[in-house]
Structure formats: structure tokens, C-alpha cells
Amino acid sequence: MDGRKFNKGTVGNKGGGRPPKSPDLELIEKLTPVNDLAYEKLKEGIARGEFKYIQLFFQYYYGKPKEKKDISLRQDTPLFID
């Protein structure tokens, strides 16, 4: 007899099992019931012609435009220091 009824589980794989839900998924589940209200308010703001609502719509629909940074070298700063 090897004492199987006294086994307490395997030594390895301590973190096994299903991982907990991420906080993002929990937030999405909480906000899902107000989706229709949020869309209605967005629609009303766009109908009134308010810039922030229009900007928000286009940023989510088409994506936020990429920011371009002007990187120019100053003449008084050397590129490499000896």
C-alpha cells in the first residue's frame, strides 16, 4: 500500500486551474448594460454639433491619428561627444 488516501496533491503545478478574470473584462461586463444609453448620448452630442463628441466618434471609428514629432538637430549641440 502506498498511502494514496493521504496524498495532498502533486508537488508541481501549484498555480494550476483557471486564471482569474482580468480587471478589464470585469469593467466591460459592468458597463455593458449602459451601452445603449452611451450610444444615444453620443448620437445627441453629434446631432448638436459639439466638437468633442464628433472628435470622440472619429477617434474610435477611424483610429487616433499618429502624432508626428519634429526632430531637428540644433547646430550648437554636437551629435557625438568625444
More confident site: 30 or 81: 30
Model pTM score: 0.48
Alpha helices in 1-82 (DSSP H): 23-31, 35-48, 51-62
How large is the average pLDDT for residues 59-82? Answer: 76
How large is the average pLDDT for residues 37-59? Answer: 93
The percent of the chain in helix, strand and coil, each rounded to the nearest 5, is 50, 0, 50
User: Domain residues of the chain, as ranges?
Assistant: 20-62
pLDDT for residue 48 = 95
Answer whether 42's CB lies under 8 Å from 57's CB.
Answer: yes
Residues whose CB falls within 8 Å of the CB of residue 79, separated by 6 or more in sequence, listed in order:
73
